[in-house]
Chain A
Amino acid sequence: MNFIKKISIIILTTLLVFTLVNGAAFAQEKIIKIGTLFPLTGSCALAGSRCKAAVETAVEVINNSHPECDVPLAAQEGLLGGYKIVLVHADHQGKPDIAKAEAERLFDQEGVYTIVGCYNSACTNPASMVAERQEKIFMCGCSSSAALTERGLQYFFRMAPTDKTESIEFCDVIEWMNGTKGANLKTIGIIYENTEFGKHAADEGKLAAAEAGFEVVVDVPFSPGATNMNSEVQTLKAKNPDVVFGACLGGDYTLWVRTMKQMDWLPKMCLNYCTGYQDPVITEQLGDDANYFMGGTGYAPEFAELMPAVAAVEKIYQEKIGVPFDSDSIQEAVATFILAQAIEKAGTLNYDTVRDTLYANEWNSPLSMGGKVAFVSGGQNAKAMSMITQLQGGEYKRVFPTELSTDEVIFPMIPWSKR
């Protein structure tokens, strides 16, 4: 009996507390609230927690004086003469409906100024629509679906290169290999997880391949979280394409590489989208098996000389989460920095002014490859670029474009039996 009373009292009080707390306004100080919305639980939790830590790192640098970091706003404390950023974290669990609900809550109840998120393109879409309808700014770091910036939204900004740019770059690499190394690569196979992310990447990959005149001979979607990838790899092996485009996240990437090893098959060249390929932890665990794969990379610790300012920031980040930045998470930090810079430059928190400022200027962004960020209509960062890297001896070596490359491509991939 007591039990029922206890339960009902607990539920009633929590409900009451929340209605009250939600309604109450935050004590007015010189703060700017920013919401983060990432998948902190569910199958993308790993990437989400890294992205969240990246935003925290950026805010740490902006709010406090960090003279050791050579990035904008690091030396001073706060913004607009003393405004501090306060973060409100939310979790969308990888579900679009929760992303929408949480975005609404962050804006309406928490009263955040803007949201940084959401990693999954499928979640970024509804969440950014919420912002657009309220005419508030939405900063997107690393969602890669090209469609996001083709919607003509006014208040949406995205830092990372899209899978479209990556696909075109992949084809450029193949052409370059054919031209300079006589590689004679003709056929392409695509393996991707059958989700919004994978499907988009694969569609863009097919388009780019068709444009460049390569033949896509095999197209293998698979269900993420698979127990085995035998038939996927067997299908690839049977068609034996020269080049494989891969869009496999996390655990599936490991499984895929391992299965290829068991089947003793490799394409001549393997190019990966923003996926498990970039995760330094996975690379370390796969050890030698991870080598000679290639992929688009926005950032890797080996890029230190190219992006010298990252190291100091990365130190703060590593204290939080224990791994160095990867291409995805660093874009979320960039998003935070760019927003802060825009607010500082606009000198106001008015959404339209900040938006116009964001569009009007080319931003100095030491955390981005190329060091610059500038937005074109639709909110895409036109300066976004990634390099093609190849894993050699467990390190991400830059191989393309040639003017920034440090190492030669090892081509074709060394077969498993000779490793």
Chain B
Amino acid sequence: MIKENTKKQDLLWYVLIVVLLLVPFIPQVAANSFTQHVFILILLYASMSQAWNIIGGYCGQVSFGHSVFFGIGAYGAGMAVVKFGITPWPGIIIGSLLAMVVAVLISYPCFKLKGHYFAIATFAIVEIFNRLFMVWYWVNGALGLDYPMVKTGWTNFVWYRTKIPYYYGALILFTTIFSIVRFIERNRFGYYLRAVREDQETAEATGINSTFIKLSAMALSAFLASFCGAFFVQYNFRVDPPMVMSLQVSMVFVLVTILGGAGTLFGPLLGALILIPLQEYTRVLWGGLGRGTDLMLFGFLIVLIMVRQPKGIMGLINEYLNYRKTRKIISAQPEINS
């Protein structure tokens, strides 16, 4: 039964990737740079949230601190291009490794804290990093780093006239991160993560080193998040602290995952699939009115989904599948009353 389910999921996964590969060939998308933009954002946000999902969903440690790692990755790429005038790749690698180190250093003491104390601690860390980067002269402080005009192509990971390479870049990011999580999910490590989430004491009693598990999950999560940060800055040609290293950015990681369904493989994708078009198209439609109508509607829909199904969109889908199953059973039964 489990085997069959995995097979089904595998099939779904491969089909999904093929479909995503073909998206730019849909004429509607190819002709419309804004639709491309929306698709890129969906993939990026899904990747970000999946990175968060490792520690926040599977391991149950709600971190509001991921914008720090996101920001370090972004600054890695930004510094390489703007300050050193080289390709962003070394910056991205160094940034990601640095994010990992920072993640371990700040998480180690914080993992002593439980539940909300941990969440607020990560909150505080974001604020501290934000203010420090705002006055850090070497990374241009509040002024931010603006990209100069550079040669386009994969070496610089910059394109001006087309978004299609960005789309494939995002798709690579997306596939990598999702594959890693898919691998982890069925691996011993994944079971450890969930064991720690369900009950840390019991997990430790069975011989799991929970601190080590949490730290490695955090390090992996930070590493992947910082890649997303680097992509974000390469896409926007600008980085400043409020853009990448603020609570608002941290909230994105959490929001998308919870909306989709935390601790599930497809949750982040579903969350991004709903949230990003909502956010972008409500802004397109009503943003110009300038009365916050779009954001009000956006907030309203978030509330609506949560009130209707607190388990997120994954919950809604499960509910639907169960409903179909029960209906099948009911309809299969002979009518008794008549």
Contacts and interface: CB of A to CB of B under 8 A. Distances in A.
Interface of A: 1, 3-4, 7, 11, 14-15, 18-20, 22-23, 36, 38, 40-41, 45, 48-49, 52, 88-91, 95-98, 100-102, 104-105, 108-109, 122, 125-126, 129, 133, 194-196, 198-200, 221, 223
B182 interface: no
Interface in B271-288: 274, 277-278, 280-281, 283-285, 287-288
Instruction: Tell me whether chain B's interface is mostly helix, strand or loop, or mixed.
Output: helix
A214 B155 CA distance: 48
Given A19-B32, A91-B294, A100-B237, 8 more contacts: A22-B35, A49-B290, A88-B288, A95-B243, A96-B236, A97-B232, A194-B141, A194-B142
B281 A15 contact: yes
Given A96-B236, A104-B33, A133-B161, A89 B288 contact: yes
A196 B35 CA distance: 30
Interface string B248-276: 00000000000000000000000000100
A4 B316 contact: yes
A9 to B, nearest CB: 14
Which of B143, B242, B320 has the most A CB atoms < 10 Å from its CB?
A: B143
A104 B41 CA distance: 14
A41 B28 contact: no
A108 B308 contact: no
5 contacts: A23-B28, A40-B288, A40-B290, A45-B290, A221-B142
B103 to A, nearest CB: 24
Interface residues of B, number: 47
A71 B140 CA distance: 43
A96 B240 contact: yes
Contact of A91 (B131, B277, B287): B287
A199 B143 contact: yes
Contacts of A19: 28-29, 32, 35
A97 B28 CA distance: 24
B210 to A, nearest CB: 37
B143 A196 contact: yes
A221 B29 CA distance: 45
Given A22-B35, A129-B237, A133-B160, A41 B142 contact: no
B144 A122 contact: yes
A40 B290 CA distance: 5
Contact of A109 (B34, B236, B237, B287): B34
Contacts of B34: 22, 101, 104-105, 108-109
Given A3-B308, A100-B237, A194 B135 contact: yes
B277 A15 contact: yes
Given A4-B316, A97-B232, A108 B290 contact: no
B236 A100 contact: yes
B134 interface: yes
Contacts of B134: 194, 223
B183 interface: no
Contact of B141 (A23, A40, A96, A199): A199
B295 interface: yes
A11 B291 CA distance: 23
A105 B36 CA distance: 11
Contact of A22 (B32, B242, B295): B32
A41 B116 CA distance: 31
Contacts of A105: 33-34, 37, 284
A260 to B, nearest CB: 24
Given A108-B34, A126-B238, A18 B290 contact: no
Nearest to A89: B288
A195 to B, nearest CB: 5
B295 A196 contact: no
Given A96-B238, A108-B33, A199-B143, A41 B277 contact: no
A122 B236 CA distance: 12
A-B pairs with lowest CB-CB distance, top 9: A89-B288, A40-B290, A91-B287, A108-B33, A199-B142, A105-B34, A97-B236, A133-B160, A19-B28
B288 A125 contact: no
Contacts of B274: 11
Nearest to A97: B236
A10 B50 CA distance: 26
Which of A48, A97, A104, A109 has the most B CB atoms < 10 Å from its CB?
A: A97
Contact of A125 (B142, B146, B280, B292): B146
Contacts of B305: 7
Contact of B277 (A11, A45, A48, A221): A11
Given A4-B316, A11-B277, A41 B37 contact: no
Given A41-B290, A199-B143, A200-B143, A223 B131 contact: yes
Nearest to A52: B290
A20 B160 CA distance: 25
Contacts of B135: 194, 221
Contact of A126 (B237, B280, B283, B294): B237
B289 interface: yes
